[in-house]
A and B are shown apart, each in its own frame.
Chain A
Amino acid sequence: MSDAVADKPQAITSRHDARYKVTLYEHVGIDNAWTLDYYLGHEGYQAAKQALTTMQPEDVVNEVKKSGLRGRGGAGFPTGVKWSFMPKPDGRQRFILCNADESEPGSFKDRYILEDDPHQLIEGLMIAGYAMHATIGIVYIRGEYHLGYERLVQAVKDAREAGYLGKDVFGSGFDFDIIVHRGAGAYICGEETALMNSFEGLRGNPRMKPPFPAQAGVYGRPTTINNVTSITSAVHIIKHGAEWFASMGTEDSKGTKLYQVSGCVNRPGVYEMPMGATFGELIYDFAGGPSEDAKAFIPGGSSTPLMPFTDEFLSAPMSYDGIAKKGSMLGTGGVIVIPKEKCIVNFMWNCIRFYAHESCGKCTPCREGVATWMPKMFQKLVVGRGEAGDLELIENMSSNIKGTGFCVHADAAMWPIDASIKYFRDEYEYLIEHGVPKYPRTSWWKD
């Protein structure tokens, strides 16, 4: 099928395109899709076999480079390039670490892969491990994903018994095994260096970079860290070819991505779409449109600046570059649609409370600013005791907090606040002036 696609010069940027085919999420939602039998019955482990037996590790890296795959965890670093940063094999143990500590509000794509299609992740890890001569794969799964953890552990066990993991996989001479490690509820452990610390049995504080993980990662040994969907994408790149992957998306964002919609839409959930599809297509055509009047949406998880719910922003393509042009970020692709009647100050208070709770406490600006002062300021506004100058103080604090932390946690907490003040300053001012929110509705729970 890759040949058929390669003939067409026009890139696929809409899911309505007849050539588009669901790949990452093909088996999610089907009963027993997580079992080895089911997976083998659906071309399971064929891509890994192809990579391990017919390709050299360098070819695999080049194929992923050629596909244009960029990291799906938020930062969008080209995956193939990241893989090529690994030093030449020097006898040290090397690791491929899968970041399944999905905890960004608005993101829930990895959870369904872990629960319903864990073998896809195992296959992806095998390919990634082979490409980087890493014989141990680690999956760091967040502690709350209990079902996902159990299914993944069972899947690893099944794969090991069936000979897909262990010594000399597919007779290629390549040994590979997987460690499944469970987190215990800390958002910061999604940051790659904090994740390594947490895995090593230390507190989950971020580490200094450099040295980068490729030089000194887990236990000080070469490590590459990828998001779940970056790794599973590699399966389909090998299966269908880099050209197929690159035939979708825009100039700078290739392939297919899982977008998540939540908030006030009629059909919330995860939708797999080619990159470059617009927010309008996702929200109206697939998620069934807003269920009530909407005024804003978060484009890619709570860390990304929100955007007004207008045609100008809805027509923006959901690609790394397309969203950056509108002043925000693609992030994890977790779209949250905010209803008109929700007080934006209250919404942002909820958001900053999250970052306050999850600050690891290592750096003073984050510990004092994000975790203490900022929520206090918002609480003051929300209870109606705001006074003239508070808004300016928040803006001032925000600009002083950004860029001062060890990791981007503090920045990520401030970006959405800045954007909410930029687009909804009137609501802040109304609340400060009147002591009551412009939109006072508090009842949201459905019967």
Chain B
Amino acid sequence: MTELPTIKPFFADKQDLVDEILGRYPDYGQRSAVMPLLWEVQRAERHINEARIAEIATILDMHPTEVKGVMSFYSTYHEQPVGKYHLQVCATLSCSLAGSDEMYDYLVDELGIVGGETDKAGRFSLQKVECLGSCGTAPVLQVNDTYFECVTRSRCRHLLDAMRADTLPEPWRERGGDNVGCRKSQTRQIPRCRRR
């Protein structure tokens, strides 16, 4: 086995957090905590390396390979660090009908990286992902944990400029459907246009 460089254990000073996560699950199901623990590492370090996997395995009394097996099954845990802004373009049906393929091409041109890559400065990562559950407000661009919906060409440009200036704007929330016209007032406007 290759010697791993010694780095400070991630959970060493986070016993409260570990206890809280383990405490969510029953005694006989402590193994369930593997995904939340992986999430914590992924969020803090933007990737999960072998040392962290070994650490989680020790906490849960699992073999590191088992933890790695779980980790590699899911698409949102990364082995390589993602950039400060992880741009995830939904490429599935409804978003594709709304032009997400062009949005992806636009981002490739602008950022000089393709899907799965991170730029040299570690600022941007780009990834094509599958359906994000925002089909009614397509196309959607997920930046780290936040959804930006109805991303038109001009909005995409605006968003990119904002991120380059390190000012991620508040996401605009557009829902359409039953929520049209009822965001501010509590009276519901049911659209009733008759079939022409």
Contact = CB atoms under 8 A, between A and B. Distances in A.
A111 B135 CA distance: 11
B3 interface: no
A108 B102 CA distance: 23
A184 B99 contact: no
Interface in B120-168: 129-139, 142, 145-147, 152-154
A263 B31 contact: no
A10 B194 CA distance: 22
A28 B195 contact: no
Contacts of B32: 181, 199-201
Contacts, number: 226
Contact of A106 (B33, B93, B146, B154): B93
Given A445-B152, A447-B152, A264 B35 contact: no
B92 A280 contact: no
A272 B195 CA distance: 18
Interface residues of A, number: 84
A16 B177 contact: no
10 contacts: A22-B188, A29-B179, A31-B183, A102-B133, A103-B133, A106-B93, A269-B136, A285-B195, A350-B91, A444-B102
Nearest to B146: A146
Contacts of A143: 39, 74, 76
B151 to A, nearest CB: 9
A395 B34 CA distance: 42
Nearest to B171: A147
Contacts of A106: 93-94, 131, 135
Given A184-B35, A185-B74, A262-B94, 10 more contacts: A105-B135, A144-B142, A181-B35, A186-B73, A269-B137, A285-B193, A288-B191, A347-B96, A443-B99, A444-B98
A445 B139 CA distance: 8
A257 to B, nearest CB: 13
A204 B94 CA distance: 26
B93 A289 contact: no
A262 B131 CA distance: 13
B75 interface: yes
Interface in A334-367: 334, 336, 338-339, 342, 347, 350-351, 353-354, 357-358, 360
Interface stretch (B11-19, B22-30, B111-119): B22-30
